[in-house]
Chains A and B, each alone.
Chain A
Amino acid sequence: MSAVSVQSSVLRVLRVVVIVALVAATVLPFVYMLSLSFVRIDDLLRDPLRVLPQLDRITTETYRAVLASEEDGGYGFGRFMRNSAIVAVAASALTVALVVPASYALTRLRFAGRSQVSWLFLAVYLFPTIIIAVPVFVGFQVLGLGSSLVGLVIAYIALTVPVSVHMLRNYLAGIPESIDEAAVIDGASRFQILTRITVPLAMPTIMSTALYSFMIAWNEFLFALLFLSAKQDLWTVSLGLTRLADGQEVSKTVLMAGSVLLTVPIVILYGVAERALTEGLTAGADKG
């Protein structure tokens, strides 16, 4: 056999092995999470290897316990989820409201300081978030915004703006400017162009930008830890899960149910918008 056919057949087998292994490696931890969330803690301690519970031993008590408020003997995840939802929705709505005009200006208008703005956004990534978080926290305390969901929302906007601007800008750059010019000749103002032409044309990308910042805000941990640790009634799901996991008193399978509740909204949103999101993020990557 020639080198070509030997390599081809080896690679053909290897390819299947690689795909199966990678899919298993990505999926199994999530299967484990979902499955343990229906297991009784004594069953887990008795036989850790039995990942899938016997049908007659399946319990949904874990979900009741984790969702119920403290007064009802639960762990208050219902409230944590509400807090997370408020923060994430507010952060993504405000991010979009800020980013759409900014991206429009950065792709369409010449103005002083235009190139410096892009450099400013890069600075976000050069320093560890932890070192940004502490002065922000101290400053917000002075302004009375520390330990509040409002402060958290403002911080999340700053975290998501740079990537959001990048996504939208790539898209807007692809819309022909002659459309804008035609509108100018018809007597449209800048604001009318933005709201009547740019926003409708860019709607799919605006939606995926909104989803992106929702996901970042929903998943975020460090700012929530610094801002809200002392205020249990304001905890987000991410913070609530880690705080409860630090103690010994909450059973691991109940916290698994909490992890599922933390993960499911993200997986659903991702499932709905996977295509738009990945295309938005990798826009321009295929041009090398």
Chain B
Amino acid sequence: MARVREGRLRPVPGVPTSKLRGRENRDGITLVAPVVLVVAAIIVVPIVWTVVLSFQDARYVDVARNGLFNELTLDNYADVLTSPAFWQALVTTVQYSVATTVGSITVGLVAALAFRDRFRFRAPLRAVMLLPYVAPVVATTFVWQVALNPQYGVVNAFGTQVLGWEHPVNFLSAAPTALGTVIVYDIWRYFPFAFLFLGAALTGLSKEIEEAAVVDGATPLQKFWFVVLPQLLPTIALLVLFRMVMAFNEFDDVYLLTGGAAGTQVASVRVFEQLTGSSDIGGASATAAVMAVFLGVALAIYLRLTARQREENR
């Protein structure tokens, strides 16, 4: 950080500027150090450890006895890349991530547009709409499980008794319905997030451009497509990025709803099963490392593409 702003280091009588700058540097490092230490210990060290473990044929016993110093090998990566179950998990993860990202942002956008103009109870209703996002995931997945249960769930009762379904539907225990259900659940859980950010972006737009478009005879749909949507694109691009990363690494929602059964084994759940089921630490670490590489490459491509877009908009 070579940029030093005028005024910050306004000379104090009797104290040389270089000394002030040195003290500022020292104070800054002291104040940030505790946070950095916690994050480094809990996040960075484990990530490095994971990468190291992925090159070792390690079980819990080996890690407990030898720590990080086991024999190095590429076997885990060979196993991961030749395993059909891994590729299946990757495909499932991509399907799940894309569907929940597109779904939650689309619903969030529709919601933000519907809530744009004032109406009675707008503020309380807007607060209520964020409930799926803030409520504990354990509680909401449990409610969905009960509601969708074939024996005593309200959805199947309604379907068979009122809508005339022949059989109750196994929403969470039969492929391919299960993956669809998990996706719908996550759209339900995360659309409030997009709604929140797009709502904030909408209030920041200047009304003048839209009024000018209306004066020029634009219909409401043209106004949305040519005036409002382009202004929202930066926010949408950021949301896509954020949601994709989160969805790609999602564990709780899938694990709690289906336990990874019936064609819903996404990457995180597979890693969890490798760890707890077969206590294959090396294999689990290699799976996670390969997934992180895929995510990193996807992010890099996405940032390249949107960077070009940003340049053109300028």
Contact = CB atoms under 8 A, between A and B. Distances in A.
Interface string A10-27: 010001001100110111
Contacts of A106: 32
Given A36-B146, A128-B251, A30 B131 contact: yes
B305 interface: no
Contact of A158 (B43, B114, B130, B271): B43
Interface string A156-167: 011101100100
A286 B200 contact: yes
Contacts of A30: 131, 135, 143
Given A215-B134, A222-B251, A132 B35 contact: no
A45 interface: yes
Contact of B47 (A36, A132, A221, A245): A132
Interface residues of A, number: 99
B46 A110 contact: no
Interface residues of B, number: 104
A109 B147 contact: no
Contacts of B154: 32, 48-49, 51
What is the predominant secondary structure among interface residues of chain B facing chain A?
A: helix
Interface string A46-69: 011101000000000000000000
A138 B284 CA distance: 15
Contacts of A102: 31-32, 34-36
Contact of A128 (B7, B115, B271): B271
A158 B188 contact: no
Contact of A104 (B31, B40, B128, B158): B31
Nearest to A10: B220
Contacts of B92: none
B19 to A, nearest CB: 14
A262 B139 contact: yes
B30 to A, nearest CB: 8
B286 to A, nearest CB: 11
A3 to B, nearest CB: 5
B309 interface: no
Contact of A19 (B115, B143, B272): B115
B38 A221 contact: no
A288 B156 CA distance: 44
Interface stretch (A70-78, A200-208, A264-272): A264-272
Contacts of A98: 34-35, 38
Interface stretch (B82-90, B96-104, B291-299): B291-299
Contacts of A175: none
B283 to A, nearest CB: 12
A248 interface: no
Contacts of B146: 32, 36, 252, 256
A102 to B, nearest CB: 4
A260 B146 CA distance: 14
A262 B221 CA distance: 43
B39 A241 contact: no
B44 A120 contact: yes
Contact of A262 (B131, B136, B246): B136
Interface in B142-184: 142-147, 151-154, 156-158, 161-162
A131 B47 contact: yes
Contact of B28 (A23, A114, A241): A114
B144 A29 contact: yes
Interface in A73-106: 98-99, 101-102, 104-106
B235 A111 contact: no
B245 interface: yes
A181 interface: yes
Given A19-B125, A241-B139, A125 B246 contact: yes
B27 A109 contact: yes
B65 to A, nearest CB: 12
A282 B199 CA distance: 10
B32 A286 contact: no
A278 B126 CA distance: 11
A112 interface: yes
Interface of B: 1, 3-4, 7-8, 10, 12, 21, 24-29, 31-32, 34-36, 38-47, 49-50, 53, 60, 63-64, 107, 110-111, 114-115, 119, 125, 127-132, 134-140, 142-147, 151-154, 156-158, 161-162, 188, 192, 196-197, 200-201, 203-204, 217, 219-221, 231, 234-235, 245-246, 249, 251-252, 256, 267-268, 271-272, 275, 281, 284-285, 288, 291-292, 295-296
30 contacts: A11-B221, A18-B110, A23-B129, A29-B140, A36-B146, A49-B157, A98-B34, A101-B31, A112-B29, A120-B39, A124-B43, A125-B246, A126-B292, A127-B292, A128-B251, A130-B275, A131-B285, A136-B46, A138-B60, A177-B7, A215-B134, A218-B136, A219-B137, A237-B136, A237-B138, A241-B139, A259-B139, A259-B143, A262-B138, A274-B130
Given A106-B32, A110-B4, A131-B47, 18 more contacts: A8-B220, A22-B107, A30-B135, A32-B147, A49-B158, A110-B24, A111-B27, A114-B28, A124-B39, A134-B46, A135-B49, A138-B64, A158-B38, A221-B256, A222-B251, A259-B139, A270-B131, A271-B127
Q: Which 6 A-B pairs have the closest CB atoms?
A: A111-B28, A286-B204, A158-B42, A135-B46, A109-B28, A105-B31
